Structure 1
Amino acid sequence: MAFAGTKQKCTACEKTVYLVDMLTADNRVFHKSCFRCHHCKGTLKLSNYNSFEGVLYRMPHFDQLFKRRQP
């Protein structure tokens, strides 16, 4: 019996994602290796990311780019 895999595609690379390498964030599916910060390209974890308009960022970069600065 052959393993059929999934029909789900990675949001980042658009290739098939298999269950052992699947990560779901913001209702989108990624390979673990494709779940990266837009700013620094570093690998993200579910505990250290934020998104803005569908773009993923590490929390420090998100804060740096989008937090309101005090006068």
Structure 2
Amino acid sequence: MPKCPKCQKEVYFAERVTSLGKGWHRPCLKCEKCGKTLTSGGHSEHEGKPYCNHPCYPAMFGPKGFGRGGSESHTFK
């Protein structure tokens, strides 16, 4: 029986949400930064942990200026 990466308890098929190649309990699949509940495939991953696509992941791991005011805030040289 697979274990949830967040709480380490067994995940039964009926309650499983598959994401990042693992089975999670639906309430355990949350953004590591803001705690928002995520949907399978509707988020990003960093070092095996889920983050919401906006605004947490780009704010924490994106290029400087990305995600903080639209494309206008990013300077291309």
TM-score normalised according to structure 2 size: 0.75
Which of residues 12, 16, 20 is equivalent to 2:10? 16
RMSD: 1.3
1:64 counterpart = 2:67: no
1:28 counterpart = 2:59: no
- Which segments of structure 1 move beyond 3 Å, counting only runs of 4 or more? none
Unmatched 5+ stretches in structure 1: 1-6
Q: 1:47-70: CA deviations, max 9, x gaps?
A: 421001112100011011111123
CA distance in 1 between counterparts of 2:41 and 2:4 reads 20
TM-score normalised according to structure 1 size: 0.81
Partner of 2:31: 37
Q: In percent, how many aligned pairs have the same letter?
A: 26
| Matched length | 65
